[in-house]
Amino acid sequence: MRVAVTGGGGFLGSHLCEALLRRGDSVVCLDDFSTGDPRNIAPLLGDPSFTLIQTDIAAELRVPGTVDVVAHLASPASPPDYLRRPLQTLAAGSRGTENALRLAHRCDARFVLASTSEVYGDPLVHPQDETYWGHVNPIGPRSVYDEAKRFAEAITQAYRGSLGVNTGIMRIFNTYGPRMRPHDGRVVSSFIVQALAGEPLTVYGDGKQTRSFCYADDLVRAIVAMIDSDEPGPVNLGNPVEKTVIELAELVLAATGARSDVQYHPLPADDPARRRPVITRAQERLGWSPEVDIEEGLRRTVEWFAARPADVAGALTAIRGGQQDGVPPDPVLADPAAASPWSALS
């Protein structure tokens, strides 16, 4: 198949591009690299089955020829990114999603949307299955991401119902693994960076809030299964093994061999207290379950971070300069000389 992957230069998008190429598909990667990294897809540039189009999909989405699948992953996804880029996040979820849907409609292609567990907000139902409507603050600090994804689901469903587009909605829970940006502000990357440097691990709140962490390879297998199906969704994709933030900190310390202390800071507004997916629908309809346990996934992720000491050092500077809400400054915004990600390919 010929698959258009929006956000293909990002953490998950680049893993998806690789997986599709490995099985013989051709891939059109679309990314403006506002939060993606050109280094993620640099090894793919010589593959004749891989095409890169640098574009802001919220402005336009032009793909020459036809495509069989549109996998829409483009969006800022970590809190520091969408808190710094609120309008861009809303645009990616609204105009960007509709542009991707128009491409799928024009090409009579399968469309799969990477939505998020954030549509459940700070849930009042635990664990969360796909019938739960969520508990979201529409004007809170996280709302630009939450509501962008909720709108993206709504317009995806509207294109399916009104125009007959073959759509599928995936609700992705916390995912980690190689190619996470060290400075992206997510708990796994922040803990690993701090542990590798022997710095205290920063925990917000009392650390008893929970998340369910899915390794990237497992998540990509689920996305590929969704691409190959006609499942409309929504389908939860994540690991149902629930960990507290303190438990995660202990696992990271074990994986790195660090003896760092833990420092506690105030909990950000609207931070979910508990998060765990019910994945029965994914198991029954996609034949998918996660396979990599968190100890093994963290070991692989720590190895990847440890092999990039310069990136880790830069991220540590950002984390040290973080604000009380846990949002470190963006190195690109702080350093205009770093504004062009294409220097990584030169």
Partners of residue 265 on adjacent β-strands: 204
**Strand 26-31 with 210-212, pairing:** unpaired
Residue 198 has phi, psi (to 5 degrees) of: 70, 20
> One of 82, 145, 204, 215 is an active-site residue; which one?
145
Angstrom CA distances, 102 to 106, 140, 228, stand at: 6, 30, 20
Q: What is the dihedral of CA 236, 40, 180, 194, to 10 degrees?
A: 170
Strand locations in the chain, DSSP E? 2-6, 26-31, 50-54, 69-72, 110-116, 166-172, 175-176, 201-204, 210-212, 214-215, 235-237, 242-244, 262-265
Reduce the DSSP state of residue 265 to 3 states and report it. Answer: strand
CB 270 within 8 A of CB 137: yes
Please give the Cα distance from 92 to 145 (Å, whole number).
10
Are 297 and 173 in contact, with CB atoms under 8 Å apart?
A: no
Q: Is 145 a catalytic residue?
A: yes
Q: Which residues are catalytic?
A: 145
